[in-house]
């Protein structure tokens, strides 16, 4: 069945540094979504990627979908304390279940 | 637009007791999901409804968990009897479409503690 790996599990950065989380699938995806979950909160939808090689930006956040549609990344430029939380990918495949990655927990030193 | 409503927010029960959670999705959202999120892990899908029909319940422990979505609107998730390992946050989400074509909107969740 489909497997997903999200790395790193944790990242602790100095405020102002960049942050990247990666999501890798064992199978080709139809799309991928990214969510942010603040401590004690619920997941909030950030974006969906559908096309091979797609790149989307939201202010300081850059999302990429791999050419083979098996991996994706979320990059935050110049982190701020408001970026603290856990970032999850959600894999969508026509052949397999819809599953969440294990998440990357971002903490920031002011 | 009102969000996904869930109740209760918190519940503490003893093992072997039963508990029920309620969810009211965003109006017009045909698809409703129940997820279990154990502390430090990603959400795990328990059951997915399309209107009032079940699309996927392969990860629902059917010996103790049950869910229904009567009339294709709100939904209840029940655990009977509860085990210690059921302690988790139970999240309800809804979307306009069956698959991940649209982002999911999550409710605030119900934090269950089984003692």
The pLDDT value recorded for residue B72 is: 84
pLDDT at A35 over 70: yes
Closest approach of A66 to chain B, Cα-based (Å): 18
| Mean pLDDT of chain B, nearest integer | 93
pLDDT at B63 over 90: yes
The pLDDT value recorded for residue A100 is: 92
Q: Are B36 and B46 in contact (CB under 8 A)?
A: yes
Per-domain boundaries in chain A: 4-109
For domain A4-109, which architecture applies?
Sandwich (2.60)
| Nearest neighbour of B99 by CB, restricted to A35, A41, A92 | A92
Q: Are B31 and B42 in contact (CB under 8 A)?
A: no
Chains A & B: contacts with CB separation below 8 Å: 53
Handedness of CA A27, A30, A34, A37 (dihedral sign): negative
| Mean pLDDT of chain A, nearest integer | 93
The pLDDT value recorded for residue B100 is: 52
**Integer Cα distance of A71 and A75 in angstroms:** 13
Domains of chain B in start order, with CATH, are 5-110 (2.60.40.10)
Inter-chain residue contact B108 with A48, CB threshold 8 Å: no
- Among B21, B100, B109, the strongest candidate for a mutation testing the A interface, having the largest count of A CBs within 10 A, is B100
Inter-chain residue contact B106 with A44, CB threshold 8 Å: yes
Nearest CA in chain A to B90: A42
Inter-chain residue contact B42 with A31, CB threshold 8 Å: no
Nearest to B73 by CA among B36, B27, B10: B27
In the 8-state DSSP scheme, what is residue B53? E
Q: For residue A57, list its beta bridge partners.
A: A62
Nearest to A20 by CA among A6, A37, A3, A39: A6
Q: How confident is the model at residue B43 (pLDDT cuts 50, 70, 90)?
A: very high
The pLDDT value recorded for residue A97 is: 66
Nearest to B79 by CA among B35, B21, B6: B21
The pLDDT value recorded for residue B101 is: 57
Q: Provide the phi-psi class of B101: left if phi over 0, else alpha when psi is between -120 and 50, else beta.
A: alpha
Range of lowest pLDDT (A7-16, B16-25, B92-101)? B92-101
Q: Within 10 A of B9 (CB to CB), how many other CB atoms are there?
A: 10
Query: What's the mean pLDDT in B99-111?
Result: 84
Condensed to tens digits (0 to 9), the pLDDT of residues A80-99 reads 999 999 999 998 776 556 78
């Amino acid at each position: 069945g489909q497997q997903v790996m999200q790395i790193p599990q944790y990242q602790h950065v100095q405020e102002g540094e960049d942050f990247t989380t990666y999501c890798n699938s064992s199978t080709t995806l139809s799309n991928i979504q990214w969510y942010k979950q603040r401590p004690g909160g619920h997941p909030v939808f950030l974006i969906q990627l559908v096309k091979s090689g797609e790149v989307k930006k939201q202010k300081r956040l850059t999302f990429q979908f791999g050419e083979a549609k098996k991996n994706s990344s979320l990059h935050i430029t110049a982190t701020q304390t408001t970026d603290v939380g856990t970032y999850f990918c959600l894999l969508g495949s026509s052949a397999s279940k819809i599953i969440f990655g294990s998440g990357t927990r971002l903490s920031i030193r002011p | 637009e009102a969000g996904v409503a869930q109740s209760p927010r918190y519940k503490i029960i003893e093992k072997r007791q039963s508990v029920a959670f309620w969810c009211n999705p965003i109006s017009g959202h045909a698809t409703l999901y129940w997820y279990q999120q154990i502390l430090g892990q990603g959400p795990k899908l328990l059951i997915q409804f399309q209107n009032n029909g079940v699309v996927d319940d392969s990860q629902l422990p059917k010996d103790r968990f049950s869910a229904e979505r009567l009339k294709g609107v709100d939904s209840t998730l029940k655990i009977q009897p509860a085990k210690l390992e059921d302690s988790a946050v139970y999240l309800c989400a809804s979307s306009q479409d069956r698959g991940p074509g649209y982002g999911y909107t999550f409710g605030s969740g119900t934090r269950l503690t089984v003692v």
